[in-house]
Amino acid sequence: MKQATHKTLYNTHGWIGIVSGILLFVVIFSGIPALFEDELEYWQSPSLTALPKSQQFDLQSVVDAAHEENFIYSDFFISPANDVRSHHILWNFDREKEAFNTLFLAAHDNRVVEADQSDSSHILAHLHTDLHLPSPYGRYLIGLAGMAMLLAIIAGVVIHIKWRKELITLRPKRSWRLLLTDHHKILGLWTLPFTLVLAFTGTILGLLGLISPILALAAFDGDVEKATRAILGPKAEIIGEPLNRYPLNDIHNTFKNDMPGVTVNMISFSGYGDRGGYIKFSGNHDEKLNNLQATTYKMATGEPVHTANFIGNGPFQRIFAAVVPLHYVMYGGGWLKLFYALSALAVCGLIISGNMLWLERRGHSQEHWLGKLTLGVCGGLVLATLSLLSSSTWLRHVGADQAFWEETIFWAVWVITTLVALKSQASFSLAHGIIRLAMIISISTLIGDGIMNQRWIWTAEGWVLFVQFGLLIFTGILFVFDYLLPASKTTSEKNKPTAQPITS
Amino acid sequence: MSVLHQTSAQFVNIINHTASRIVAATLGGFFTTISITVGITLWWPFGETVEQVFAGGIFFFVFWACLFYWILLSANGSRAWIKVLSILLPMLIVDAIGLNI
3-class SS string, A370-429 = HHHHHHHHHHHHHHHHHHHHHHHHHCHHHCCCHHHHHHHHHHHHHHHHHHHHHHCCCHHH
CA count, 13 A, side-chain hemisphere, B48:
7
> How much of chain B is in helix, strand and coil states, percent to nearest 5?
85, 0, 15
Nearest chain A residue (CA) to B60: A211
Round to whole Å and give the CA distance between A426 and B68: 40
What's the residue count for chain A? 504
Would you say B27 and B62 are in contact if contact means Cβ atoms under 8 Å apart? no
Residue A334 has a CB neighbour count (10 Å cut-off) of 15
Chain B CB contacts of A233 below 8 Å: none
Query: pLDDT at position A135, please?
Result: 84
Would you say A461 and A406 are in contact if contact means Cβ atoms under 8 Å apart? no
What are the backbone angles phi and psi of residue A295, rounded to the nearest 5°? Answer: -135, 135
> Which A positions 216-255 lie with beta carbon below 8 A of chain B?
216-220, 227, 230-231
Round to whole Å and give the CA distance between B43 and A218: 9
> How much of chain A is in helix, strand and coil states, percent to nearest 5?
60, 10, 30
Indicate the residue of B42, B51, B95 with minimum beta-carbon distance to A313. Answer: B51
Residue A266, beta-bridge partner list: A282
Round to whole Å and give the CA distance between A90 and A105: 8
Chain B CB contacts of A231 below 8 Å: 50, 53
Sign of CA dihedral A485, A486, A487, A490: negative
B85 at A interface, C-beta within 8 A: no
Local confidence pLDDT in tens for the 504 residues of chain A: 688 888 899 999 999 999 999 999 999 999 999 999 989 999 999 989 889 999 999 999 999 999 999 998 999 999 999 988 999 999 999 888 888 899 999 999 999 998 888 899 999 999 999 999 998 899 999 999 999 999 999 999 888 877 777 777 777 777 778 888 888 888 888 989 999 999 999 999 999 888 888 888 777 776 777 777 777 777 777 777 777 777 889 999 999 998 888 889 999 999 888 888 999 999 888 777 767 788 999 988 889 988 887 777 788 888 888 888 889 888 777 788 889 999 999 999 999 999 999 988 887 776 788 989 999 999 999 999 999 999 999 998 888 899 999 999 999 999 999 999 999 888 889 999 999 999 999 999 999 999 999 999 999 888 999 999 999 999 999 999 999 888 877 655 455 556 665 554
Helix (H, G, I), strand (E, B) or coil at A465: helix
Would you say A475 and A437 are in contact if contact means Cβ atoms under 8 Å apart? no
Chain B CB contacts of A224 below 8 Å: none
B49 at A interface, C-beta within 8 A: yes
The CA–CA distances, whole Å, from A187 to A8, A94, A153, A180 equal 23, 46, 12, 10
Longest distance between any two alpha carbons in chain B, whole Å: 60
- Reported ipTM: 0.88
Please tell me which residue, B1 or A314, carries the higher pLDDT value: A314
Which of B43, B48, B53 to substitute to test the interface with A, most A CBs within 10 Å?
Answer: B53
Q: What is the DSSP string of A245-304?
A: ---HHHHHHHHHHHSTTEEEEEEEEESTTBTT-EEEEEEEESS-SS-EEEEEEETTT--E
B98 at A interface, C-beta within 8 A: yes
What are the backbone angles phi and psi of residue A237, rounded to the nearest 5°? Answer: -105, 100
Query: pLDDT at position A290, please?
Result: 67
Q: How far is CA A27 from the centre of its chain?
A: 8
Q: Across the interface, do B51 and A217 touch by the CB < 8 Å criterion?
A: no
Q: Across the interface, do B55 and A316 touch by the CB < 8 Å criterion?
A: yes
B88 at A interface, C-beta within 8 A: no
* Cβ pairs bridging A and B (under 8 Å): 89
B34 at A interface, C-beta within 8 A: yes
Q: Quick one: which of B15, B1, B98 has its CA closest to B56?
A: B98
What's the burial of A251, exposed, middle or buried (CB within 10 Å: 0-12/13-18/19+)? buried
Query: pLDDT at position A489, please?
Result: 72
The CA–CA distances, whole Å, from A57 to A87, A110, A232, B28, B74 equal 10, 9, 25, 54, 61
Which of A149, A211, A226 to substitute to test the interface with B, most B CBs within 10 Å?
Answer: A211
Q: Mind telling me how many Å the CA of A318 is from chain B's nearest CA? A: 9
Sign of CA dihedral A112, A113, A119, A121: negative
Amino acid at A307: T
The CA–CA distances, whole Å, from A143 to A136, A202, A447, B57 equal 11, 6, 38, 14
Helix (H, G, I), strand (E, B) or coil at B90: helix
